[in-house]
Amino acid sequence: TSPASAVLAGAKNINWQTANYPANAGVNINLIRKISDSPREFTLVRTLETDTANDGQETWIPQNGENTNNLYVEVTCSNNYQFQAGCSLSSEPIKVN
């Protein structure tokens, strides 16, 4: 995938691109918080979407507490699709601006 992007304050779009990903397979979108730089670690804040269409865009409305400077968005493989050789979307989490 290529980087996703998001910005705080009101309804925002998360944008992503995938390559060599099955057309009928959805993606999961997570909001994560960076908890350590060394080693680099994240913790799940909440799942924004589960098995949403892999159409490259989703709208996110930040909730209370989702306005800190250590939030990131990650787009991951859906659990609802049977990947023959496993699945890996190798994009790094993208910082929320």
- Reported as a single tens digit per residue, the pLDDT across 32-70 is 999 999 998 999 999 999 999 999 999 988 888 887 788
Q: Is the pLDDT of residue 2 over 60?
A: no
30: which strand partners? 47, 74
Contacts of 48 (CB under 8 A, 6+ apart): 14, 29, 30, 31, 58, 60, 73
Greatest mean pLDDT among 4-8, 19-23, 34-38 lies in: 34-38
Nearest-5° angle of CA 11, CA 42, CA 14?
25
Residue 29 — pLDDT band, cuts 50, 70, 90?
very high
pTM: 0.78
- Nearest one of 25, 26, 27, 39 to 91, comparing CA atoms: 27
Give the pLDDT score at 66. Answer: 83
SS3 of 83, please?
Answer: coil
Nearest-5° angle of CA 24, CA 49, CA 28?
55
The answer to whether the CB of 50 falls within 8 A of the CB of 4 is: no
What domains sit in the chain, N to C, each tagged with a CATH number?
A: 2-95 (2.60.40)
DSSP-assigned letter for residue 40: E
